[in-house]
Amino acid sequence: MPTSSSPTPTPHRSPPLSEQLQRVAACVQAVEQGRSLTDSLAALDPFWRPGVQALSFEVLRQLGLARALLSELAPRRPDPAVRALLQTALALLQPPTANDERPSDADIQHPRYNAHTLVNQTVEAAKHQRATQRQAPFINACLRRYLRESEALLEQVRDIPEARWNHPRWWVERLQRDHPAHWQDILMASNRPGPMALRVNRRHLERDAYAERLRQAGMASHPFAEDGLVLDRPQPVDRLPGFAQGDCSVQDAAAQMAAPLLLQDLTVPGRPRVLDACAAPGGKTAHLLERADLDLLALDVDATRCERITDNLRRLGLQGRVVCADAGQPPHWWDGRQFDAILLDAPCTASGIVRRHPDVRWLRRPGDVEQLARVQAGLLEALWPLLRPGGRLVYATCSVFRAEGEEQVQAFLARHTEAARKPAVGHLRPGMGIAGHQFNDNVPGGHDGFYYARIDKAGS
């Protein structure tokens, strides 16, 4: 990252665009080399982080088109740093993605920055980095040519799937097979920013009471389900009334379905014994504890992520046992007592949450789907014996790929005659309303892509 090449600006002045572009290009280069955008942003000085994140998200949502345009402008592949800076500029020269489900005409017609200003600032960024300064004239020539020939160049690449949909070709083709009637809707929704949804801590106050607190703070919101509010405009969490005191959490509408689905009509003597496998960062763990008095065990294989679960529970004033362990290896952590309910939010490609994590589409490889499907199948087999007869397991993934959802569950049911599927929502497409389920069709911005299945074990 180029943070050492220039001092952090003082808080009273805005950071120069050229210096932001340096950092954005470094983030893009890191993604192209297989590193998470989250990790790159975490390494930045906090002063730079919000602006660089916003621009990086925009670039990654347009990266397929930027790659295709660069191939036309520079048939010989430039060095990685030059390539990243050019792709950054070409992406930001496109109309910005909208802040809601329906872009306004103004959003479609006007880029974020004046085109000539953006080109000038990109060249300035190149001049002040060792890896790109000798190529500044080349960068300038490429971008000036794009300004002159943009219409023709866009026409040349419009039929390239990666350029048209801003997802890898294999991803597009998989969605075409998995969702033949809806694949275009999924891709379009995945390229739009998701709304900011909140979950109100019902142990502290009612949802409508918190909505009134938001209104008094100048933040408009709309309700969904029993505990949720979606904000008209995203806000920093430190501006949310009572956030530090545990009155609310940030959680997408789709993720808020897990706890009600697991707990619905769950009646056992005393406190139900519940396992939240693969629980980090703890949003669903907390929601379960906010809704019911439970003997809950939360597992995650990563010690740092377990600390996040503990921190979240502490902020919300909730009690649950957190253990760092591999859910797929019960002999290492299970005490032999069966659970009344198990939530398995299994590791997956995260293909349903790319509107919030736009780097995911560029980090995944075609073989990841099958590899993760094997992990999911292994977890189902390992955890199923831990469920008591008459208990239920909710299987969830934040994926839109059928291999990680419907196909996975159908294969499990075929192996287990004692397993019975109960009504659940199945595959949720990103951005859609859920007619007939817990959310209104008009939830602004809809929700992430997800999959849910509830499986009951025969017996009493």
| Residues identified as active-site | 398
Residues 221, 232: contact at Cβ < 8 Å?
A: yes
Residues 26, 2: contact at Cβ < 8 Å?
A: yes
Residues 333, 10: contact at Cβ < 8 Å?
A: no
Residue type, 249: S
Within a 13 Å sphere around the CA of 235, how many CA atoms are in the beta-carbon half? 21
Distance CA 293, CA 286 (A): 11
Return all residues near 244 (Cβ < 8 A) that are at least 6 apart.
238, 315
Angle, alpha carbons 435-439-441 (nearest 5°)? 50
Q: What sign does the dihedral 6-8-14-17 (CA atoms) show?
A: positive
**DSSP classification of residue 451:** E
Q: Where are the beta strands (DSSP E) in 108-267?
A: 197-200, 221-224, 228-231, 248-250
For residue 96, cis peptide bond before it (omega within 30 degrees of 0): no
Distance CA 323, CA 330 (A): 12
How many Cβ atoms from other residues are within 10 Å of residue 97's Cβ?
Answer: 18
Q: What sign does the dihedral 2-7-13-16 (CA atoms) show?
A: negative
Q: How many helices (H) and strands (E) are present in the chain, helices listed first?
A: 18, 11
Residues 259, 283: contact at Cβ < 8 Å?
A: no
Distance CA 384, CA 455 (A): 10
- Under DSSP, is residue 312 helix (H, G, I), strand (E, B) or coil? helix
Distances in Å between the Cα of 220 and the Cα atoms of 118, 229, 271, 384 are 34, 10, 37, 43
